[in-house]
Amino acid sequence: MDRPDLRRARRPGEADAPRVEQDGRVWRIRSLAVARQVLRARTQTTQAGFTAEAIPTGGLTHRPILISDGRLHDEQRSKVGRFFAPAVVAERYTARMEASADALLDRATAQGRCILDEIALLYTVEVTAEAVGLTESPVPRMARRLVSFFNQPPFDITRDDLGRTRGQWARAAVNGLLPIVRFYAADVRPAIRARRRQPREDVISHLIGEGYSDLEILVECVTYGTAGMVTTREFICMAAWHLLQNPPLRERYLVAGQPERFAILNEVIRLEPVVGHLYRRVTEPLEVNDGASAWTIPAGHLVDVCIRPANADAAAVGERPLDLCPQRTLPSGVNQAVLSFGDGAHKCPGQPLAILESDVLLRRLFARDPRILTEPELGWDDLIAGYMLRGFALELGGTKPSTSAGQTLK
């Protein structure tokens, strides 16, 4: 009998074909090979996702990392890279992750149940805040402020005016600016002040050293807050959902060593990418090819890299692309998560942090014998073009944080 596909986050109305589609000045790419060519075309494209083209950058000397391009961007990346290298992340943040996960799960276990998406939010905000240097304000309040950025009217990135009415633009300005002002006053400014007095090993201290203004630091903190914390929260819930409903895979995950556990998590995020679309503006004619077919994308056109179909491109990831199969063989040079953390110049620097962080929380969660009370409700967000899982209620039984193999979780 045919097994059903395992992907849960399918956006209504989103097509799986054709592999390369031109619709006026917008190109939709679903072939993994072509998607990688576009994302790696560093001199012929610029960032057009996350409403980058509508963000005013006039008053900024340092362009925000997410929407910067070219040589300056390469320099910014190599400098912050040292905070996110796998060995650095493991050495610096593991103890903090373990302590945070234990504290949150101890509280939940005492109550016998939890809403996993709420725990995952507090956890990811605490861990990422440590790496970024946002440590001067209480985590639950900062988490609430970060989440409020997402309360935005819908938009269509393929339209010049984002397809919004005047009223929606006004609402976007109010809904967007107020939370940013609050985030600055309560979280970012105190963190900058503390680090101007005494620098530490974190991103904010580094940006101060590079001569960034308070406004420029704020913009980077918003990027890390949304690109780092909110995405990892969704992934943790999605991974828990898959593993809880797939006992053989969960058993394997619990006894496996770290490389195999990471392979399982990367395969889950390949199947269920949190960020569903990446966008680039072509600045010089860009030639791409998919096997024997070739296209030239003219300058000025917008490319929509559709991550869900590209990550499930059977020509690259093999048979049954919508199955969860951590041992699948990928073409050389393709990341285990395929395009879920991007590729090329803007590839996510936070992948090692996100995967380790998820692993630490999930192992501790599974050691407490969780059972699903209510499956999460799946929603969609335009800004990261991704899914949201809410109301994921779990009953927690065990209180001993140990693996099924009986080892202590250290």
**Residue 200 · residue 322 · CB < 8 Å:** no
Looking up tokens 């000045």 gives: 25
Strands (E) across 205-313 are located at 277-282, 286-290, 293-297, 302-306
- Write out the two tokens for 198: 């005494």
Q: Give 168 or 223: the residue with its C-beta nearer to ligand HEM.
A: 223
276 binds ligand HEM (CB under 6 A): no
Residue selected from 104, 108, 120, 131 as contacting ligand HEM according to rule CB under 6 A: 131
The answer for 117, left when phi > 0, alpha when psi is -120 to 50, beta otherwise, is alpha
Single-letter amino acid code for the residue at 89:
V
Closest CB to ligand HEM among residues 120, 396: 120
From the CB of 202, what's the least distance to ligand HEM, in Å? 11
By the rule CB under 6 A, 274 interacts with ligand HEM: yes
Residue nearest to ligand HEM (CB): 350
32 makes contact with ligand HEM (CB under 6 A): no
Q: Which stretch binds ligand HEM (CB under 6 A): 190-198, 317-325, 336-344, 393-401?
A: 336-344
Span interacting with ligand HEM, options 99-107, 108-116, 210-218, 335-343, rule CB under 6 A: 335-343
At 393 the three-state DSSP class reads: strand
3 state DSSP class of 213: coil
Task: Please give the Cα distance from 280 to 37 (Å, whole number).
Answer: 12
- Please give the Cα distance from 329 to 341 (Å, whole number): 18
What are the tokens at 206? Answer: 């580094």
* Interface with ligand HEM (CB under 6 A), residue from 33, 38, 41, 66: 66
| Cβ nearer to ligand HEM, comparing 343 with 396 | 343
Nearer to ligand HEM, 100 or 232 (CB): 232
Number of H helices, E strands in the chain: 15, 12
275 binds ligand HEM (CB under 6 A): yes
**Minimum CB separation from ligand HEM for residue 313, in Å?**
17
How buried is 17 (Cβ within 10 angstroms: 0-12 exposed, 13-18 middle, 19+ buried)? Answer: exposed
The reply on whether position 120 binds ligand HEM by CB under 6 A is no
> Can you spell out the DSSP letters for 53-99?
GGS--TT-SS--GGG--HHHHHHHHHHHHHHH-HHHHHHHHHHHHHH
Per-residue contact flags (x/-) with ligand HEM for residues 342 to 371, judged by CB under 6 A: x---x-xxx--xx-----------------
Residue with tokens 């409700």: 377
Tell whether the torsion through CA atoms of 87, 89, 94 and 96 is positive or negative: positive
Residue 112 CB, nearest approach to ligand HEM (Å) = 29
Q: Looking at 46, 100, 128, 205, which residue binds ligand HEM (CB under 6 A)?
A: 128
Per-residue binding string, ligand HEM, 179-218, x by CB under 6 A, is ----------------------------------------
Q: How far apart are CA 126 and CA 120, in angstroms?
A: 10
Hey, which residues between 227 and 246 contact ligand HEM (CB under 6 A)?
227-228, 231-232, 235
For the CB of residue 353, give the shortest distance to ligand HEM in the complex, in Å: 4
Nearer to ligand HEM, 129 or 244 (CB): 129
Interface residues with ligand HEM (CB under 6 A) are: 47, 49, 65-66, 77, 128, 131, 223-224, 227-228, 231-232, 235, 274-275, 278, 340-342, 346, 348-350, 353-354
